[in-house]
Amino acid sequence: MKKRFIAIAMAFAATAMLCTSIPAFAATTTAPPKKITLPIDKDTALEIALEDSGYTIEEAEDVEIEKGHEDGKEVYEVEFYVGVSKYEYDIEISTGEIIEYNIDD
């Protein structure tokens, strides 16, 4: 009888912990990351660079995007200015990954 009581008590405790942790977890989840279609296009490369920099298309000036190669990978070379700062990004076309970036103030 004592073993059965312990088993029931443990099951109840586990259920209580599970029920209280799910709402807490659900409240802290964020929207899933934006899904991109691979390989990326020029517009998506610009979006990735702008998101990383923290600026919007309205804030970016003199935007240039060209195809190039970096470390044997095909990339979009994205360049733009915000104020006097020049932002340069190499973004891999096949993955959307930022390979390299530079900010000149």
In a shared domain, residues 26 and 48: no
CATH number at residue 78: 3.10.450.40
User: Which alpha helices (DSSP H) does the chain contain, by range?
Assistant: 2-28, 42-53
Q: Which residue has the tokens 């190039």?
A: 68
* Percentage above 70 pLDDT, the chain: 69
State pLDDT tens for residues 15-61. Answer: 555 454 444 444 444 445 578 899 999 999 999 999 999 999 999 99
Mean pLDDT of the chain: 82
Q: Using CA atoms, how far apart are residues 14 and 34, in angstroms rounded to an integer? A: 35
Same domain (yes/no): 16, 55 = no
Kindly state whether residues 50 and 23 are assigned to the same domain. no
Do 88 and 49 lie in a common domain? yes
Q: Which residue has the higher pLDDT, 16 or 104?
A: 104
**This prediction's pTM:** 0.69
Domain coverage including residue 1: 1-30
| Angstrom distance (rounded) from CA 40 to CA 75 | 10
Contact call for residues 76 and 94 (beta carbons, < 8 A) = no
Residue 36 included in any domain: no
